[in-house]
Structure 1
Amino acid sequence: METTSANKKRHLGLIITLMMGYTMAYMDKSLISTAMIPIAKQYNLSSSQTGLIMSAFFLSYALTQIPSGWLADKFGSKIVLLTSLSFITVFAFIFGIVSHLFIFMLIRFSAGVGQGGYPSATSRAITENFDQKQRTFVQSLMLSTSGIGGILAFTLGANLIAVNWRYAYLLLGSLCLIATILAALFLPRKEPANAATKQKTPIKYVSLLTNRNVLLLFSILILVNYLLYGIMSWLPTYMSQQFDLTISTLGILLAINAAFQTVGSFSAGLLLSKFFLGRERLFIVTLCLASALFLVGFILATSLVVSMILLLLLTTCSVAAFTSIFSWPHKLFDESIIGSVIGLINTGSAVGGVLAPMTLGFLIEVASGSFFLAFISMAVAILASAIIILFIRPKATSAH
């Protein structure tokens, strides 16, 4: 009983530590979209230029996914997680003191290097410390922090941005520093001695790169994250222009929306574990179709109340879809290569993040400031992802 109790406490501490790090990562991703409103005004930046600043982050985020996954599988999760959090901390502080377009891009690129290691290392930590039956739910808990990070970004962060956007990055850096210290103290030093989690044969990266399900999941996440990061990047600008909102009011509305990100992630974990076990494909396709429908309704709505209702529905469904897709590899692949698999498919997430801000910025400029074409392109992307999901094989090889 003492051993069981000790394990429960260890698991709870590990979950809280990992969730705090993830929360800071998502706060960083969310904060930039609101901060770009005063930054663009202060430095007279165009939509394309602000899009480049946001895309610079995702370019490095994409480039670091594969090596980070490999490092997490080879050396364990702790060293990768600590390195990731340290990068996020340092470059959050630095972003708050620079004042030039190129330097903004460089700092965001560097922050993306740090954040690129966090998802795969977290998945590796989950595999190292939790049983197979627990992993989908624990992974969904990690992804639910997107909402918590968003709430922090759109409440504390937005209020500070309304005073001076640099203060928001001082806050972010301070919180990231706390998360780094907690990770150093509470993450297990070594991988637990569990024979099931030890890699039996060397990873064959060629096999992973040609694995059908890896390639399909990679493509799906490009499209899903084109929507998610497109909304994250341009929603504050769209809402403030469409409804003439102040940053403080906008922050409240976006914080409510962020809370529904947590609802989407958490509910996805529960539903997949209890009602859609073995029927993940049907669940995800339904969510993608609903997301496309709500997105079209959102861009056509002219009332703030109607827009918010549709936005909350869109957020819940799209985040639930992403959570389900991101958790699926724990059931599709051998646990000894989960860090590498997550690193590979999450590269698709990052590619979507690279494409979304700058592509949508370009489409907004082409449409003379109208967001209609940009938002329709996101609806098309999520519909395309629903089609590709149909070709996932429920039982994948371990790619050895």
Structure 2
Amino acid sequence: MGKLKGKEVAIFLTLFFIGLVANLDKSLIGVAATAIRGEYGYSATEFANITNLYYASNIVMTLVSGWIVDRFGYKPFMVTALTILTVASLTFGLSGMLAAGAGGAVGVLTGLLASRFFIGIGQTGYTNGVSKVIVENFQPEVRQTVQSVVVATAGLGALLAYTVFTGLVGMGWQIAYYVLSALFLIALVLMVVIVPKKYTPPAGSVSLFTAWKHKNSLVLGFALLCNNMVGVVSLAWLPSYLQGIDVIKAEMAVNPGLTNMILIGYAIVMGVAMVASNFIIKAWFRGKEKIFAVICSAIGAVLLYMMTTSQELVAIVAFLYSSTFLLMLVFSAIVALPYAPLANEDGTIVPVSMIASSYAVINIMAFLGAIIGNTVVAGIADAMGFSVGFAALAIPFLLSGLALFLLPKTK
């Protein structure tokens, strides 16, 4: 990362922590899924509704959040969002207390659905607010790197979920969400105390639908839609998928912690890939991001499919890690491209004046990909098993890289 000046360091660390906790929440739902489904007997499709409602509320709020941030500034929006996340994470854990007096498993499901709905709203503070904080508080030459490192918290959040929070889920999945709520409270305090309130009025009028007319925003959104179909499904269902593989089930009779060890490695691979992507692109693929993404997505799609057909433990893990590494390289390239300078004209892939609105478009399409992938894989899993569902994800994996060829050249 380039040199950060003055208060940039404190702001960067605050954004990093907010990203870490937000991504921990996204991974924790997958870890807790097995415990919740086992306790209340929910099918994969029923539990998928909890995740889908999260993304549905996220989409609805994202429709207006980018415009709100561009029009009124990021701080009030992010403070409100973090407050919602703090409260909703607490109520998600408290939902288990509804079982005795509100219809048993049905009562619990209602509480989980309602809490996850508000968590989806709160998560827009991270997904749509951070980009504007970066534009307003960091020098142009470090913005792309800051964005890449903050995004890399997806891997670290998953690692935290598969280590510390797996232990907490073992003590009771509700406890894990109480601790998550406390972490969101810390993030809220840091946001209030450290991140300044800045607002640069847009050069012209900001329309709620301006970014929806911007070709580059739509292309990036479609690419992330395809990428999220693979990545989000993995976060939500990978523990369940691994526990259903015959060779892993047999090995777990001797080594009960095997699945958790695989997941820890998976999270480490995610984090390393997302940090490394920025340096790989700068060193060898500057201005050639599209070629980089296609190579990664094509090889990764093949490896993902091979993972679902293999019967050897070592091969399954190797294919999982290598395809995940390539998936995260493509993901990081997509989310960093809005800041990339154009080759044949002044400006960037996405104009700075509409960066938050553009990320809103990109995120909405990404969330649609999550809903589509989650619904399809859950349905296939109930009918034919998770292996078939994961195999189908090779197609959107490939498309996530190919779509970027519709973008203009960068330098």
Same fold (TM over 0.5): yes
Once the two structures are TM-superposed, the CA of residue 38 in structure 1 deviates from its matched residue by: 1.2
Q: Matches of 1:8 and 1:103 in 2, distance apart?
A: 45
Matches within 5 A, 1:192-203: 198-203=201-206
**Alignment-derived partner of residue 390 in structure 1:** 405
Task: Confirm whether residue 254 of structure 1 aligns to residue 263 of structure 2.
Answer: yes
Matched, 1:108 2:123: no
Matching residue of 2:85: 88
Contact map agreement 1:80 1:118 (CA 8 A) in 2: no
Does structure 1 conserve the Cα–Cα contact (< 8 Å) formed by 2:155 and 2:267? yes
Q: Does 1:48 align with 2:45?
A: yes
Unaligned runs of 5+ in 2: 97-107, 341-348
**1:122 maps onto 2:130 in alignment:** yes
Look up the equivalent residue of 2:28 and give its one-letter code: L
Is contact 2:64–2:208 with CA below 8 Å preserved after alignment? Answer: no
- Alignment partner, residue 11 of structure 2: 14
Q: How does 1:136-175 map to 2 (within 5 A)?
A: 136-175=144-183
Aligned partners of 1:35 and 1:165 also within 8 Å: yes
- 1:308 — aligned with what? 317
Contact 1:158 1:248 in 2 (8 A): no
* Aligned-residue offset at 1:76: 1.8
Would the aligned equivalents of 1:225 and 1:349 in 2 still touch at CA under 8 Å?
yes
Which residue, out of 162, 180, 192, partners 1:184?
192
| 1:235 corresponding residue in structure 2 | 238
Deviation at 1:318, TM superposition (A): 0.6
Q: 2:274 & 2:311 partners in 1: Cα distance?
A: 28
Q: What's 2:343 paired with?
A: none
Is 1:356 paired with 2:373? yes
Q: How far did 1:314 drift?
A: 1.5
* 2:29 aligned residue: 32
Q: Write the distance in 2 (CA, Å) between the matches of 1:205 and 1:187.
A: 26
Kept in 2, the 8 Å contact 1:30–1:232? The answer is: yes
Inter-CA distance 172–252: structure 2 relative to 1 (3 Å threshold): farther
Moved more, 304-313 or 161-170: 304-313
Alignment deviations for residues 95-129 of structure 1 (CA, whole Å, 9 cap, x no partner): 11113212211211110000023122100011111
Question: What is the distance in 2 between the residues matched to 1:311 and 1:220?
Answer: 21
Aligned partner of 2:63 among 62, 66, 74 = 66
Tell me the distance in 2 between the aligned counterparts of 1:110 and 1:204: 26
C-alpha distance in 2 between matches for 1:316 and 1:280? 16
Among candidates 211, 236, 241, match of residue 208 of structure 1: 211
Give the equivalent residue in structure 2 for 1:398: none
Q: Distance in 1 between matches of 2:114 and 2:77?
A: 22
Letter of the aligned partner of 2:401 in structure 1?
A
**Structure 1 counterpart SS, 2:393:** helix
Residue 205 of structure 1 and its aligned partner are, at CA, apart by 4.4
CA distance in 2, matches of 1:204, 1:32: 35
Supply the distance in 2 between the matched residues of 1:237 and 1:49 (Cα, whole angstroms). 14
Higher mean displacement: 334-343 or 59-68: 59-68
Structure 1 gap segments, 5+ residues each = 192-196, 396-400
Partner Cα separation in structure 1 for residue 208 and residue 110 of structure 2 = 35
SS at match of 1:159: helix
The correspondence for 1:324, drawn from 312, 327, 333, is: 333
Q: CA shift at 1:264, angstroms?
A: 1.2
* Counterpart amino acid of residue 83 in structure 1: T
Q: Which moved more, 1:78-87 or 1:222-231?
A: 78-87
Decide whether aligned partners of structure 1 residues 118 and 389 sit closer, same or farther in structure 2, where only a CA change above 3 A counts: same
How many Å apart are 1:20 and its aligned residue?
0.4
Q: Secondary structure at the match of 1:227?
A: helix
Report the counterpart of residue 286 of structure 2 in structure 1.
277
Write the deviation string for residues 79-107 of structure 1: whole angstroms up to 9, x where unpaired: 22222222221111111111321221121
Confirm whether residue 220 of structure 1 aligns to residue 223 of structure 2.
yes
Please state how far the C-alpha of 1:233 moved relative to its aligned partner.
1.0
- Structure 1 CA distance, aligned partners of 2:256 and 2:237? 14
Deviation string, structure 1 residues 149-168 (Cα, Å, up to 9, x no partner): 11111111111112211111
Shift of 1:251: 2.9
What SS does the corresponding residue of 1:96 show, helix, strand or coil?
A: helix
Do the aligned residues in 2 keep the contact of 1:161 with 1:168 (CA within 8 Å)?
yes
Q: How has the CA–CA distance of structure 1 residues 80 and 248 changed in structure 2, closer, same or farther, with 3 Å as cutoff?
A: farther
Correspondence for 1:194:
none
2:95 alignment partner, SS class: coil
Contact 1:57 1:354 (8 Å CA) reproduced: no
**Cα distance in 2 for residues equivalent to 1:71 and 1:8:** 28
RMSD of aligned residue pairs (Cα, Å): 2.0
Partners of 1:253 and 1:91 in 2: CA distance? 30
In the TM superposition, residue 198 of structure 1 has moved relative to its aligned partner by 4.8
Opposite residue 64 of structure 2, the aligned amino acid is P
Structure 1 CA distance for aligned equivalents of residues 373 and 237 of structure 2: 9
CA contact (8 A) 1:136 1:273 kept: no
User: 379, 382, 393: which is aligned to 1:378?
Assistant: 393
